[in-house]
Structure 1
Amino acid sequence: MFKKAAAVAFKGETRIRGKESKRLHQAVASTAGDEIAAALFPNKAEVVIRKAGGSTFQFIFVNGECFYVQLDGKAELGTGELLPTLQALWRVEADALLPSVVIQRPVAKFIFGGANVMAPGVHSIVPTKSCLPKEGCLVAVRAEGNSFAAAVGRLRMAPNAIVGSKGEAVEVLHFFGDALWEVMGSPRPAGFIGDQIHPTEAQEEKEERGVKEEEIVQAPAPEAEVKDMLDQPDRDMTHMIQNLEECLLQACKTRIKDRDLPLPGNVLYAQHMRPCRRAGSNIDVKATPFKKLSAFLSHVEEKGWLALKKNSSDPIVTRIFRDHPDVTSWKPWPKEATAEVEESKGTDSSPTEASIQIEVVWRIGKLKPLLEELKTEAADGCWTREDCAAALKAYADSHELWLKNNKKRIGPDALLCSLISSELEVQSGQSYSLDGLADDVLRTLPLCHRVTAPQGGAAGGFRRYVRPGKPPVVQVRTDTRRGHHVTLIHGLEAYGIDMQALAAELQKALASAATVEQASPTQVAAVMVQGFWDVAVAEWLGKAGVPAESILQQAKKGQQQKKAKQASNIVKA
């Protein structure tokens, strides 16, 4: 139902209050109880209804998160059938909203691909506290040993007839890895690794003691304040907090000078802390209880390491207390051991942030006689200019076509003459340089471009494909959205790139929020980055593989990315 991005291309939104909000709350309470309804629709929550082009569904967002989809968009809100999203199912106790169809864990990878649940893959069925499942009702699909739902679907068989039978048991409507999941930020609950679902630790312990799957109920950890979570963080959070603090100390000791202050928090994080982290490591403030950079910087301010600008909406570092014992006692690791140096060497010790590759290629169908002579082929039927030159050199070497009096020029034979659409060269004795011959051969072939781009969905990874024509132009410009400065990247959809996956890569590279601005009747979709990043985005696209001549940078007057400050007393040699 939500496999394609067009199914969730939202157009506008409507905020609801009063009777509609109350009716929606009552609809959820009637099936799940008042406690669950209050957890999903808390008091004074901002409830927004969005619709997508080409469908009548009503998507119900609560405080920015999509919790329900009303399948009958023409009915009054709360009166039609409500489909809980994975976000809602993960927020409350397992089996609190819908009955669960428990599948065997190896079946999960097929569900992630959008396949329906077949009866042989069903392990058991777990009812809710208030109702029993029946044919035609909505059910949650989760894997054995893990309480987090992997999909939501409609039961197509009687529950007592599923186990031991054949056929389609559940029609999947919404699954982990579809476009709606990507709109929600592509979250991964515990145990969801790649295209597999692993049992959670609590489940494994109970299974070892012989507890049945139907008796196991595990809910996501309740939300708590940052200070409460810091008292007893898990190992991963403790390690990530330590990495953030060490990278901040490293940056203060090796990169940030007093003349650089005041320094915006996002610049501190993106241009100083991330580059100076240890090679092969990673830092992510979202993987800590702080969640936001401002909370982390407030935390280190309390420790006495630095001072922040008062009454500022965005964190700005105004002073670093270099005489603090933690700062003075910090011993930086060598510059050669930082991720910045390792990445500049092109090593594999740290994954590159720019993971798109775009190459100019030519289709070589016409070169079949040459391929047969060389006994070679291209995987995707295309060659780069370097591939073509290498093949021509190998052919000239094997057939001794180099001129005896000039070993840098080739005397083409009948086969090469046919490739450049001319038969006069043999008679006239015209010769070619290797580069000139490659240019003449490629001139007769269809021009294309090859794209290797990150793939969205549950499995992730990359995919490669070839598109006709030269690489399209990518426009980078600045603008404002609802009073906020943003940078927009247009034209990437022409490459067939997964826009959500690219936005996630760009967000990691710039340490600034990046989303996909949905298309409107007058405007195509664009990747939107918070802040003015026109220079950084253009550089990132160039490193990613977009040809420099295909990047059009058009920042509005007065909205260009600011240059890094430099002391005026520095004299260049």
Structure 2
Amino acid sequence: MTTSLEPGILASAIVLLFCLPTVLLSLPTMYFQVQEADNKTEECPSGADEQQSSAPTEEPPPAEAQQEAKEEDEEQPPEETTATMDALLESCVLSALRSKLALPLLASSLYSGHVLPRCPPGRQLDIRRTSYKKLSTYLAHLQSEGVLSLKETSPGVQSIVSVRREHPRLRGVCHMDLPPVEPPKADGYRFPTIRELRTITAAVLPLFPGRSKGRALGLDEVRAVIRGYVKENELQDPQDKSLVCMDPRLSDVAACSSERLSWEELFNRVLSRMQPAHEVTPAGGGTPVVHRGALPPISFTVAQRTGNKKVTLVEGLEAYGIEVSQLAHEVQVGVAASTSLTPLANGRQQLLVQGNQVAFLERLLTGSSYGVPRKYLKGLEHAAGKKKGGARK
């Protein structure tokens, strides 16, 4: 039986046969497009995570914030009141009075040198914020209680003249020793080399042939010239080697009519007819400088001003290369006393220190900072606590 195909079906089959190769060739491309779409879909959550991680950090929970605020409050010092400032003043002053103080002591020196250093770390004593407002008012209160005695040395200036350390107010105070105050050291100062000289005068010129008048010689050089002259002219006493037989030239130079002189007496007579001078060589090999005249000592004098107020006057520091303003600062820090400088007629300066500070100046100048030998210091007998013979009380 013969079956015939519909014309429409036949046409569709023919079109399918022609399109089939094209469809088969496009299948790989479609596959890769689908894969790429799947990959993009998988990457979307990761991007969301990154966006979420870049978001600002959330505020700490309220409990943590409260803890941080509490810690900050604990770091802040407590607010000082008049009562707490009064207690701080009392603690510092009574502790200072219980320590060993060199009396009489200016009230201002007590406050700056002994009271303020006893203030606990982290706290600051302000006398104006106390109920007393002034140190003099509080010291007057302590005097009324019998803790101490005050004396007005000059108008408006008070000094503590005595302290009753057995007073109950002081016995109950916790004593605190302070380390000794060391003044700032003189930066770079080293004591110079000093050589005593004599200059040739017309009176001794015949004994120094080949040398001009006014030339400066060391003491050893002068002695060597005298020995050479005596030896050259055979003037040493053959019976007593300690004596020199005087010839007309030696007698004239030494201004002596004696027939014989000892070596030491001859040296001293010749030196006395020469002019003094001195040579200062800075430490470290500097250029020596010759100065006419004898080396002036560093002198201390204690003067009395109005109202029985004592001051210490110091002169002669420049001759030793000491910076006067630097020393004044060291003294001011070391003894908590005011200082001032006064120009002198010779172009140098006079240092004035409040109070009798000779003992402190002696320790400072002869100590490691300056190293001045005591033979160059004059007036040490004026130190407080020394008798006329020089011994301390």
| Fold similarity call, TM over 0.5 | no
State the TM-score, normalized to the length of structure 1: 0.28
State the TM-score, normalized to the length of structure 2: 0.39
**More strand by proportion, 1 or 2?**
1
Structure number with larger C-alpha Rg:
2
**More helix by proportion, 1 or 2?**
2
Query: Larger RCO: Structure 1 or Structure 2 (Cα < 8 Å, ≥ 6 residues apart)?
Result: 2
